[in-house]
Amino acid sequence: MNNIKITSKKSEETILTFKKQDILTQSVSIAVERTGSTAFNPKNLIKDVLDEFKDVNINLITEAIKKGSLGAYGRTYKMSTQEVCIWIREYLKTNKVSSTQWAENPYKNS
């Protein structure tokens, strides 16, 4: 175990990942309530969303989840990873968010 090197950059990335997970957990929990879905453990959904949209600003993702759960992209019949990804893609397309605007900055709103 002595040969494992932990750099400050790796630590910052890990902290940022946990912050993103916490933010998305809150957003998904609210979305579950808004859509009247059965409560579930959102751990896999959050991991999949972060993997699929790794370069997208977390503020854009949470805004997409908020709008989607409020019905901006049509009625939701079942809360799922697929549904949340559709909301995010629709948000990015509808708001004409370019890939250059996706860059993550945890200290500044999108």
Contacts of 55 (CB under 8 A, 6+ apart): 99, 102, 103, 104
Rounded CA-CA distance 61/65 in Å is 6
**Lowest-pLDDT choice from 35-44, 74-83, 91-100:** 91-100
Confidence of residue 84 (pLDDT cuts 50, 70, 90): very high
Q: How far is CA 5 from the centre of its chain?
A: 29
Res 85: pLDDT: 94
pLDDT (tens digit per residue) in 53-65: 988 889 899 999 9
Instruction: Locate the domains of the chain by residue range.
Output: 9-100
Q: Does the predicted TM-score (pTM) go above 0.85?
A: no
